[in-house]
Structure formats: structure tokens, C-alpha cells
Amino acid sequence: MKAGQHDRLPLASLLALALAGFITILTEALPAGLLPQMAQGLAVSEAWVGQTITVYALGSMTAAIPLTTATQGMRRRALLLAAIAGFALTNAVTTFSSNLVLTMLARFGAGVSAGLLWALLAGYATRMVPASQKGKAIAIAMVGTPLALSLGIPAGTLLGQVLGWRTCFGIMSVLAVLLMAWVRLRLPDFPGQDKGRRASLRQVFTLPGVRPVLLVVLAYVLAHNILYTYIAPFLARAGMAARTDLVLLVFGSASLFGIVGVGLWIDHHLRLLTLASTGLFATAALALGVLGDMPVVVYAAVAIWGLAFGGAATLFQTALATAAGAAADVAQSMLVTTWNLAIAGGGLIGGVLLTHAGAGAFPPAVMALLAVTGWLAWRQPADACARVA
């Protein structure tokens, strides 16, 4: 083996994980871009179709921890293949279903697969590389998320309008089958944990550093979803409601640069990057709060917000994997649950704020939550955040 060859990242394997994340995000969010078409196809209201996203999130939130805990002893590749197979099956059912109840069951099942898959990705990526490259490996494995947000959802929406929404879900089912072949051929396999070494949920939760990271995730993602979920009514204040698609494209495109930057420096500057992400997001929220009625400021602020958010999931997963060590998969399942709680909480709190105080209340609420995020991240010892290096 040539000198330095052992430090070469297994790109083909990591990109397979990235494609798994891409399919997961696209499966979750695509109905948002195809509400009218799906409502017509299923003969229900758009509000009912919107609940397919809610049901998906519920599946992820309820299944991640128990499934991951129960499968600690299984070989990792077989478990990953099972999660991807879940997407192939549930998207196929969604493709052919004309019954809302059956579609909802399929969406719940897709959410269950997502909960398991998200719990596996970070741990799988870190097992394939030396300790000094764990953060970079997670960044590559997570690149499918901003790609799905910036390119996949707009492209899927356009494809659904041209060829029909069922075609979109059918393509994702086929893509999942192809990914299974890729995973089987290119990903190394790893054993599960021996029964005597498996950590209980309580043991993992009480590991030093785990709870602070989960609190950071809750506050940060809650702040994000208050604004992201209700971006359309917020943009209406600046007369930009018709430009929501363009604003989201700016957000998604900027997030790509965010994950690239995080990937370059995460292995040596984890806490600094977390604080920078929080600070950039807070700056964007401040700009939206003060000058949110000016389109040029909105575009600039949304770009900064996307830049901040792009690598956030990688930062949190890396910090949690570092804190949890061998119990990383169980810890990641807690992150999945916390993340989905924050999504649900963002929808609830944002709705209350919109109803009783108007969209102008979003930036102050976001800044308050980010202040908590920054304080929690600052309190963590620098060496604890750098153990990943």
C-alpha cells in the first residue's frame, strides 16, 4: 500500500450513503411540491395530502429509537439494506395507490425506514475511515440532504407536473432498488454489537456530551422550522409570496456551500463551526426582522441562512458520534427523534405566532432560540468537541 493510501476516503461507499439520504429527504418532502396533483389523484383535499408529510415524520419519530435499540446486534449492511428496501416498497405502494388510507400507511412506513436509516448513516460513515477523517466522512454522507432540497425537490416537482406525481414516486422506488445493488457491491459490512457490550437507552443518554448536543439540536432545528415552515406568509410581508420557489432555491443552493465548508474544516474546528453556523443564522434572522420588507435583503439573508444550515446536520451528527463512541447508532436515533420533534414543534409554535402575533414575530423567536443554541455550544469544552480529530 502506498504511503497515505490508507487515508484516502472511500468516496464510492460514502456517496452511496449520500444517495440514501437524498432518497430519504426527497421521499419526505416531495408531496409539498405536488399537493394539487396528488389531491386530484387521490380525490381528497390538499390539506389531507399535506398530512402525508406529517405521517412520515411521525413514523420517523416513533420508530427511530426502538428500532435502532432492538437491532444493535444485526450486521450493519443488512440493516441498511432493509431500510432502503423500505423506501423501494413504500414508494411503490404510493405510486399505485388510489386510496388515501393505504397511501398514509405507506407514508408512515417510509417514515419508519427513514428513522432507521438516519440513525445508521453517521455511524456507518465513521466506521469506514480513520478517526482523523470522521467529520469529513459524515459531511460527504450528508451531502444528499442539501442536494435534495436545492435540486431534487424542484426537479421532482417539475417532473410531477409534466409526467404525473405517480411517476415521481415510481422513479424513487426504482432508484432505491438500484441503490440496494450499489450498497451490496461497494459498502463494507460491519458486525453488530455483542450482547454484553450493547448500551441501554438510559446509558447512552447519560453519556457526557450527549444531552447538550441533543439540546442544541432541539433549539437550532426548532428555530429553523419556525421560519422555514411558514416562509410563504413571511415573504408576503415583502410582497414576495409568488417568489417562494426562488427564495427556497437560493436557500438550498447556499446550503451546498455550507456543507462543503463544514466538510473541509469539521475534523479540527467542530465547536467553532457550530458557533459560526449559529451566529450566521442569527445574523440572517436579525436582518429579516429589521429589513424583512426589502426583497434584496430577504435574498441575502436567506442565502446566509442556507449557508449556516447546510452543514448543521453534519456538525450535530459528528458531535454526537464523538460523544457516544461505540453507541453512536443509538445516539443518532435520539437525534432523529429530537429533530422530528423540532420539526413538529416548529410547525406548532410558528402557527401560534402567526395567528396571534403575525409573521413579524418569527425573527425574534428565532433569535431567542439561537441564543440558547450558542450558549449551549459555547459551554462545551473545546477539547470535547475536538475529540473527533
DSSP 131-168: GGGHHHHHHHHTTHHHHIIIIIHHHHHHHHHHH-HHHH
pLDDT at 316: 92
Is 230 within the bounds of a domain?
A: yes
Is 194 within the bounds of a domain?
A: no
Is 2 within the bounds of a domain?
A: no
**Do 172 and 215 belong together in one domain?**
no
**Do 339 and 219 belong together in one domain?**
yes
Number of independent structural domains in the chain: 2
pLDDT at 381: 58
**Do 167 and 205 belong together in one domain?**
no
Q: Which segments in the chain show pLDDT lower than 70?
A: 1-7, 195-197, 381-389
**Structural domain range at position 111:** 7-188
**Do 244 and 210 belong together in one domain?**
yes
**Do 51 and 127 belong together in one domain?**
yes
pLDDT at 327: 81
Q: Which of 188, 220, 241 is a domain's end point?
A: 188
pLDDT in tens, 72-115: 889 999 999 999 999 999 999 999 999 999 999 999 999 999 99
Alpha helices in the chain (DSSP H): 11-33, 35-42, 46-70, 76-96, 100-127, 134-141, 144-147, 153-163, 165-186, 201-205, 210-229, 231-236, 244-265, 270-291, 295-310, 312-324, 328-356, 362-379, 382-385
Is 312 within the bounds of a domain?
A: yes
pLDDT at 303: 96
pTM, entire model = 0.81
**Do 324 and 373 belong together in one domain?**
yes
Is 370 within the bounds of a domain?
A: yes
**Do 183 and 223 belong together in one domain?**
no
Is 135 within the bounds of a domain?
A: yes
pLDDT at 7: 64
Distances (CA, A) of 5 to 70, 124, 134, 136, 221: 37, 20, 16, 16, 38
pLDDT at 249: 83
Angle (nearest 5°) at CA 346 between 341 and 349: 115
CATH code for the domain in which residue 350 is found: 1.20.1250.20
**Do 230 and 350 belong together in one domain?**
yes
**Do 230 and 295 belong together in one domain?**
yes
173's grid cell = 422506488
**Do 349 and 219 belong together in one domain?**
yes
**Do 176 and 42 belong together in one domain?**
yes
